[in-house]
């Protein structure tokens, strides 16, 4: 699904013209196609695609999207014309995002986007780097198995969804910041609480985007809450960064570097193409 099909085609005039002719099912005033969505959005899109074709325009209140459900069309968009669709539409309430303009996922295609992609592929998410963290993933997997065995021996029921979520969060946090985020320690618990709150607010905040220009008014206060959460997160990460920098200077980090260590090394590298 490509939100704002016309905006996704920046720098490609022919694509803009093509998207303008994409049609969709009949829409109702104000709510658009909202009434066509059932409990399962994926199944709703599947039914609509079977009826109206693999490429259709979908409107919800004041937002528009292009739904692509055909493999050949998806390949043409994501591979053959990747550069025309590399940019993502920005949120209208970006003023509430303290990192606005410095993110990667929603960055417009350009020198910064290319640099961040190269950084991810060659440094942060390279095969050697992923293999470097295999020990962490193995340790967290053993912790998960021990927990499940404990439940089994005691004859107690176990919420597998919650245990797998803890496993994923702990492994990710350890690779990023060398700390677990699903345990009782104060710092880790704070990270976990912030992530949970942010997930809830982002969903509500994204729904406000359906109001179009009215979303700037932040009628439900989700934007202000998100900004407060980001500021809390930023203060905490600044403290963690300071600790990492201190350990790097004293040589304590050694070879056990996490992704934050790699980012800090790149940040202070005077020979890097981006300062």
Report the sign of the C-alpha dihedral through residues 69, 73, 79, 81, in that order: negative
DSSP, collapsed to helix, strand or coil, labels residue 32 as: strand
pLDDT in the model for residue 206: 64
Domain membership of residue 75 as a residue range: 2-89
- Asked whether residue 31 falls in the same domain as residue 118, the answer is no
- Asked whether residue 76 falls in the same domain as residue 194, the answer is no
pLDDT tens per residue across span 133-180? 999 999 999 999 999 999 999 999 988 888 888 888 888 888 988 877
Final residue before a domain boundary, out of 89, 121, 147: 89
- Asked whether residue 45 falls in the same domain as residue 123, the answer is no
- Asked whether residue 25 falls in the same domain as residue 68, the answer is yes
164 contact partners, CB below 8 Å, separation of at least 6 = 144
**Average pLDDT of span 203-218:** 66
- Asked whether residue 31 falls in the same domain as residue 126, the answer is no
User: Is the CB of residue 88 less than 8 Å from the CB of residue 105?
Assistant: yes
- Asked whether residue 83 falls in the same domain as residue 126, the answer is no
pTM of the model: 0.64
Domain-located, residue 249: yes
Task: Give the ranges where the chain is alpha helix by DSSP (H).
Answer: 13-20, 41-52, 71-75, 111-119, 127-132, 134-154, 160-177, 186-208, 222-250, 259-268
* In the predicted structure, residue 115 carries a pLDDT above the cut 80: yes
- Asked whether residue 9 falls in the same domain as residue 123, the answer is no
Looking at the structure of the chain, the number of domains it has is 2
pLDDT in the model for residue 154: 92
pLDDT in the model for residue 209: 65
Nearest to 25 by CA among 16, 33, 37: 33
**Average pLDDT of span 77-85:** 81
- Asked whether residue 245 falls in the same domain as residue 121, the answer is yes
Domain-located, residue 31: yes
Q: What is the b/e burial string over 15-25, where b = at least 16 CB atoms within 10 angstroms of the residue's CB?
A: bbeebeebebe
| Band of pLDDT at residue 32, cut at 50, 70 and 90 | confident
How is residue 188 written in tokens? 């880790």
pLDDT in the model for residue 19: 55
Domain-located, residue 150: no
């Amino acid at each position: 699904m490509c939100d704002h099909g016309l905006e996704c085609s920046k720098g490609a005039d022919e694509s803009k013209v093509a998207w303008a002719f994409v049609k969709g099912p009949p829409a109702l005033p104000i709510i658009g196609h909202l009434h066509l969505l059932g409990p399962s959005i994926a199944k709703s899109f599947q039914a609509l695609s079977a009826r109206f074709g693999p490429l259709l325009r979908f409107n919800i209140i004041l937002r528009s999207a292009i739904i692509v459900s055909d493999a050949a069309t998806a390949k043409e968009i994501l591979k053959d014309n990747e550069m025309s669709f590399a940019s993502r539409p920005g949120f209208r309430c970006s003023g509430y995002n303290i990192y606005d303009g410095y993110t990667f996922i929603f960055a417009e295609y350009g020198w910064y986007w290319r640099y961040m992609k190269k950084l991810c592929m060659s440094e942060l998410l390279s095969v050697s780097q992923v293999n470097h963290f295999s020990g962490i993933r193995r340790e967290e997997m053993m912790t998960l198995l021990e927990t499940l065995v404990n439940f089994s021996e005691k004859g107690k029921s176990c919420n597998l969804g919650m245990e797998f979520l803890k496993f994923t969060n702990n492994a990710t946090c350890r690779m990023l910041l060398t700390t677990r985020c699903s345990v009782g320690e104060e710092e880790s618990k704070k990270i976990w609480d912030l992530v949970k709150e942010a997930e809830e607010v982002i969903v509500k905040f994204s729904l406000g985007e359906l109001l179009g220009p009215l979303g700037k008014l932040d009628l439900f206060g989700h934007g202000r809450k998100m900004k407060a959460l980001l500021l809390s997160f930023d203060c905490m990460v600044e403290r963690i960064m300071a600790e990492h920098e201190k350990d790097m200077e004293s040589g304590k980090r050694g070879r056990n570097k996490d992704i934050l260590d790699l980012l800090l090394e790149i940040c202070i590298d005077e020979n890097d193409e981006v300062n």
